Amino acid sequence: MADDKAQLHLNNLSDPIELPIHKGTAGPDVIDVRGLVQAGYFTYDPGFVSTAACESKITYIDGEKGILLHRGYPIGQLAADSDYLETCYLLLNGELPNKEQKDEFVNTVKNHTMVNEQISDFFTGFRRDAHPMAIMCGVVGALSAFYHDSLDITLERHREISAFRLIAKMPTLAAMCYKYSIGQPFVYPKNDLDFAENFLHMMFSTPCADTPISPVVAKAMDRIFILHADHEQNASTSTVRLAGSTGANPFACIAAGIAALWGPAHGGANEAVLDMLDEIGDISRIPEYIEKAKDKSDPFLLMGFGHRVYKNFDPRATVMRESCHEVLKELGITDPQLELAMKLEEIALKDPYFIEKKLFPNVDFYSGIILKAIGIPTSMFTVIFALARTAGWISHWQEMISNSYKIGRPRQLYTGYEARDFTPLDKRD
């Protein structure tokens, strides 16, 4: 794997330290710093800005060019021509399925859509006004107390069953969160529906009446799932990998991922975008909010803007914006928030601050407007991100566990006290 070597010259060492350089199939070369520890040094990289924490074959991003590939396939092509479950298969297995493999995969997912009846008891422990992400963290974590028949993570088959269970049960749990919040009975999954239709059925039907599902809405929902399915080593996926590196229960690892996703700097941004658009309220107030976003003494940021990796358009945002227009047009909805969002994007992209810092709309900028048009309440936006990202989380967990891995254990630059003697309480000032 090492093709080249870097030499690190340190003033207090007579000989340079040689560090191997690894070449990936794409992307920048990577300096392997593992040998530094023998020389008594660590590297310092808060936020992992220039650190690759693992090797992976799942997803590739070229942030300068705005390219996102899953197993080599461009996200735009997957969003246009694939469907979510096929994308899940691709992420998990590395190749697109043939017809037979796809049918088998879809049927297996369908066999796992119900949750153990006792899971519903967990919901009643939550307040009705709890944030659905708080409930998701709890109930997905609770799944780790079930399914003892297949929890030996050293067995490929057991890991596969956990992956099926997670992908299949997330829509059921997500819809249960919504139903609980509005005081309606839970709706069981219906296996003659496809993945997105089934989710919408569990969200909007009741035990008394099925709500018809528009094919336009189901297609848009499925596309949103595809666009959120994976994004290499983002904060929540890295959290799942870190938790998984201890050998922890896979359902608990995914609950950790959900917790990491919730923050407004990550998946919580889709909810924050609509709150922000609500707050701005009118196109005439955009300049005021652009100034607030640039003002370092003001905590306000343009939500749905900026990205650690993309220094160009997030290709998912481009698809999402197109999809937004299509869905609103087909549903005959005119949403002033879409107009506001487009104007905000236009003004920000011309502003020297956003140009210089290469801040572009990310996946979260337009997704909320489509979700709103579909009838999904704002508080459920991040839950939907979590539902879709489960495919990526479990694929990365699988990849890690099925290869050799070490427990994730970063080091630190210690700046606290040196050793000092304990002072008994009666001698302290």
Q: Which residues form the interface with ligand SDX (CB under 6 A)?
A: 47, 231, 234, 265-267, 269, 293, 301-309, 357, 359, 362-364
Element (H, E) at 60: strand 59-62
Shortest CB 306 distance to ligand SDX, Å: 2
- Extract the tokens encoding 238: 């890295």
Tell me if residue 266 is catalytic: yes
Interior/surface letters 400-424, b for 16+ CB within 10 angstroms, e for the rest = bbeeeeeebeeeeeeeeeeeeeeee
Active-site pick, 266, 325, 335, 351: 266
**Between residues 110 and 321, which has the closer beta carbon with respect to ligand SDX?**
321
Interior/surface letters 25-61, b for 16+ CB within 10 angstroms, e for the rest = eeeeebbebeebeeeeeeeeeeeeeeebebebebbbb
**Between residues 153 and 344, which has the closer beta carbon with respect to ligand SDX?**
344
Find residue 67's DSSP bridge partners: 62
Shortest CB 79 distance to ligand SDX, Å: 14
Active-site pick, 112, 201, 364, 396: 364
**Between residues 171 and 315, which has the closer beta carbon with respect to ligand SDX?**
315
Tell me if residue 396 is catalytic: no
What length is written for the chain? Answer: 429
d(CA 215, CA 250): 34
Farthest CA pair distance, the chain: 80
**Between residues 24 and 264, which has the closer beta carbon with respect to ligand SDX?**
264
d(CA 380, CA 341): 20
Q: Which residue is nearest to ligand SDX (CB)?
A: 306
Shortest CB 352 distance to ligand SDX, Å: 13
Active-site pick, 70, 307, 314, 396: 307
Tell me if residue 103 is catalytic: no
- Extract the tokens encoding 401: 């566990």
- In three-state secondary structure terms, 21 is strand
H runs (alpha helix) in 58-98: 75-81, 84-93
d(CA 208, CA 226): 31
Question: Order of strands, edge to edge, in the sheet holding 59-62?
Answer: 59-62, 67-70, 73-74
Shortest CB 131 distance to ligand SDX, Å: 18
**Between residues 210 and 275, which has the closer beta carbon with respect to ligand SDX?**
275
Shortest CB 14 distance to ligand SDX, Å: 38
Shortest CB 315 distance to ligand SDX, Å: 11
**Between residues 144 and 234, which has the closer beta carbon with respect to ligand SDX?**
234
Catalytic residue annotation: 266, 307, 364
